[in-house]
Structure 1
Amino acid sequence: MNPNELRASIPALEEVVYLNTGASAPLPRPVAEAVQSCVTEQGYRAPTEEGMYTYAFEVYDEARRAAAGLLGADESEVALTQSTTDGINRIACASEWEAGDVIVTTDVEHSAGELPWRRLADLHGVEVRIVETDRGRLDPDDVADVVDEDVRLVSLSATEWAYGCRLPVEAVTELAHDVGARVLVDAVQAVGARPVDVESWGADFVAAAGHKWLLGPWGAGFLYVREGAEDWLTPRQIGYRSVEDANTADYEYKPGAQRLEVATTNPAPYAGLVEAIERAQADGVDVRMERIAALTGYLKSRIPDEKLLSPPSFHSGLVTVEVDDPEGTVECLDEQGVKVRVIPSIDCVRVSVHAFNTRADLDRFVEGAGLTA
């Protein structure tokens, strides 16, 4: 990977110091061009040749293959979604729930991994058990204390969004499976930032999207459903992409994850997703991670220990910092052309460090925020 070439491919970096990839990434030119090319191909050329639907389905297929390769999954285990939240909701809404069922989650989940369970509690009387963390650090023993035979689902992030901690997915999955529960992982802060292997995780469902660390466009999400785990799901939505043959009197859902797809969606974001994944794999996701680790290490070395809320050791490119006035600090940095964000749930500033960033970018943040080591 050539960090300078990656940086040069992102026009927004000519204008600002961008340290907010954990929210949404600036697009590289080749990814934007892939989106634009798809629109013109489908709208201009495909109507005169194979047809617009045929072209779109080719893009969908390519996107599933790319996402499967990224995750270490089979193509049949991947459904295309619009976002991580969309993917999580598809699992929540396709499962049978009764009063007394239990869902276990953590206190540092994004609203994507928290609101669907609150809604199930309101609708069906499901109990939601929340495991407390120590500033994002999750002890599997604390999960074990609340996981019993009433638990049907455990939901957690691979990398939680508030402090940037990696959560022990493998250990939690083993605990859940021991009592017959399923596991859903929000992986949007992991894909593209570090290698992900869903087989080693053992989770039943993994939801993610391309618009953060993969440097992809909005509107292109993907959902992993482990082979056989689809039997746990009864989809509430149906369309021609969900079934084997929409033209028969008796419909039959597709056997794998694709039963959770419904109907016509814009193929252009998925064309951008394919380009983003291919670029990440060409760079080497592990190589990108090594650079992110080196840069976050440098940033943490410049932040006073009492101000650093994220772990001193490397977990992710998310670095959370305590400041006196988070909103004011973000506004002040914005005026200086430095983009970061507030995490309102813990009233702090979060910096997202990607492989395209530089030490000079991080110096701009430290100096603009008034931090000294």
Structure 2
Amino acid sequence: MEPRDLRETMPALESSVYCNWGAGGPSPRRVVEAAESALEYHEYEAPAAEGMYPAAVDVYDDARAAVADLLGCAPSEIALTQSTTDGINRVAGALEWTEDDVVVRTDLEHSAGVLPWQRLEREAGVDVRVLETEAGRLALDDVKAVAAEATLICVSSVTWTHGTRLPIGEIVDIAHDEDALVLVDAVQSPGQGPVDVREWGADFVVAAGHKWLLGPFGAGFLFVRDGVERDLVPAAIGYRSVADEDDGDYRYAAGAQRFEIGTASPAPHAGLTEAIDVLEDVGIDAIQRRVEALTDRLKDGLTDDRLLSPRSYESGLITIDVAEPEQEVDRLADRGIVVRSLPKPDAIRASIHAYNTSEDVDAVLEAL
């Protein structure tokens, strides 16, 4: 399947020049239909067949297998969540924090990678340190300077502010040499390029399907490296967290599933499974090549003083300097072009996916 063929099945693109995939990716019809079908089966047929709970469990199992294949890991290392923020909070709630612990993050993290640590700082006295960056770049020497004292380092694989790729593998090596854990916010990665969590080596990777993967809201996932979970006790527990219960006692489920909790609609993760099937039909290499070609086209039309993202390709996120970002977003919206403003840097961001066209890019440049 060609990207243009899939574009024709995405109703949201019929009425707009959509360049905001880094915030939310409109789903093609087959993804929405898969979610609807799962919900209809769960509510109409499963009650009188295998039962509603077993039917939901089948969907959960399929989703874990699909995500594991996407990330290059085992299904036992995947927990299903609602979102990236949800995944980060589940990790943050599973460690025993004291005033002696240190969390390190960058100044480029989304609120999902900021607020959980601020809460720990306020409630448990955890020392939260922020690594300063420049133009979306993180100096490895700065990581080395804090790694020895760090309990956990939280970084993004692709920065939402500049579209830069951080050197995750090198950051993980530095952290692990000092016995620090690493959590990666990878929500901007799956769907626009290959992701191999084994290559990264991180302890935790969180993401969700509603951006570049074109899945529905509510379909998040959490990778927990095999063995890391054994010393962790999640803050919340439910029947999906445990392997069995006996006379009031319980035993946690093996692997990452201890981070799951209880009943949830199967629809979002059925949609995510279909979205990953769509990705495979189009081909991740073909998607990445097209994203690169289209972002190069956009960057070629921007002067160096306006382009705040790297000139060379790193991702489909392009940050553009404008005088009044929020007003510019509104002005472009009046012309049917969807982008977003950023709080830092004070700019607008266009997100270009493989399902955009050269005409979309030219419309953005003309409007700017």
Q: Which runs of 5+ in 1 are unaligned?
A: none
- 1:246 corresponds to 2:245: yes
Superposed, 1:116-195 pairs within 5 Å as 116-148=116-148, 150-195=149-194
Q: Deviations over 1:166-219 (max 9, x none)?
A: 011000000100110000000000011110000000000000000000000000
Which residue of structure 2 lines up, in the alignment, with residue 310 of structure 1? 309
1:137-178 alpha-carbon deviations (Å, 9 max, x no partner): 112122112221x21101100001000100110000001001
Q: Which amino acid aligns with 1:73?
A: C
After TM superposition, give the deviation of residue 246 of structure 1 in Å.
3.3
Distance (Å, rounded) in 2 between the aligned partners of 1:25 and 1:236: 31
Deviations 1:105-164 (A, max 9, x none): 11100000111111111111111111111111112122112221x211011000010001
For residues 297 and 270 of structure 1, what CA distance do their matches in structure 2 show?
33
Instruction: For residue 248 of structure 1, report the CA deviation from its aligned partner.
Output: 4.3
User: Counterparts of 1:292 and 1:203 in 2: how far apart (Å)?
Assistant: 26
**How does the TM-score come out when normalised to structure 2?**
0.98
Cα 1:232–1:312 change in 2 (3 A) is: farther
Q: Which residue type is aligned with residue 48 of structure 1?
A: A
Q: Which residue of 2 aligns with 1:27?
A: 27
Contact 2:3 2:282 in 1 (8 A): no
Q: Name the structure 1 match of 2:109.
A: 109
Q: Residues of 1 paired with 2:235 and 2:304: CA distance?
A: 50
- 1:227: which partner in 2? 226
> What is the DSSP-based 3-state SS (H/G/I as helix, E as strand, rest coil) of the residue aligned with 1:70?
helix
Contact 2:158–2:188 (CA under 8 A) maintained in structure 1:
yes
Query: Which SS does the other structure have where 1:159 is aligned?
Result: coil
* Distance (Å, rounded) in 1 between the aligned partners of 2:334 and 2:139: 40
Work out the CA distance in 1 between the residues paired with 2:304 and 2:43: 55
Superimposed CA distance per residue, residues 238-282 of structure 1 (whole angstroms, 9 cap, x where no aligned partner): 111111113543201112100010110010000000000111022
Letter in 2 for 1:280: L
What is the CA-CA distance between 1:325 and the residue it aligns to? Answer: 1.1
Distance in 1, Cα, partners of 2:185 & 2:66: 19
Tell me whether 1:87 sits opposite 2:87 in the alignment: yes
Tell me how far apart the structure 2 counterparts of residues 246 and 17 of structure 1 sit (CA, whole Å).
53
Match of 1:73 in 2: 73
User: Which residue of the partner structure matches residue 357 of structure 1?
Assistant: 356
Instruction: State the Cα deviation string for residues 343-366 of structure 1 (Å, max 9, x = none).
Output: 112210000000000111011111
> Partners of 1:50 and 1:193 in 2: how far apart?
37
Shift of 1:367: 1.2
Of 164-173 and 228-237, deviating more is: 228-237
Shift of 1:283: 1.3
Three-state SS of the structure 2 residue aligned to 1:245 is strand
- Provide the secondary structure at the position in 2 that maps to 1:246: strand
Secondary structure (helix, strand or coil) at the match of 2:322 reads: coil
Q: Tell me by how many angstroms 1:285 deviates.
A: 1.2
Q: 1:213 maps to what in 2? A: 212
The whole-number CA distance in structure 1 between the counterparts of 2:341 and 2:264 is 33
Give yes or no for the alignment of 1:367 onto 2:358: no
SS in 2 for 1:25: coil
TM-score by length of 1: 0.97
Map of 1:286 onto structure 2? 285
State the Cα RMSD in Å: 0.9
User: Quick check: 242-251 or 86-95, which moved more?
Assistant: 242-251
Structure 2 counterpart of 1:327 = 326
In the alignment, does 2:14 pair up with 1:14? yes
How many aligned positions are there?
Answer: 368
Task: Give the drift of 1:231.
Answer: 2.1
Q: Would you say 1:53 and 2:53 are equivalent positions? A: yes
Which residues of structure 2 form unaligned runs of 5+?
Answer: none
Which residue identity lines up with residue 5 of structure 1 in the other structure?
D
- Tell me the distance in 2 between the aligned counterparts of 1:333 and 1:247: 60
Which residue identity is paired with 1:340?
V
In the alignment, which residue of structure 1 is the partner of 2:263?
264
Structure 2 residue matching 1:145: 3-state secondary structure: helix
- Summarize the Cα distance change of 1:279–1:248 in structure 2 as closer, same or farther, 3 Å threshold: farther
Distance 1:151 1:32 in 2: 42
Amino acid of the structure 2 residue aligned with 1:94 = A
Partner letter of residue 286 of structure 2? Answer: V
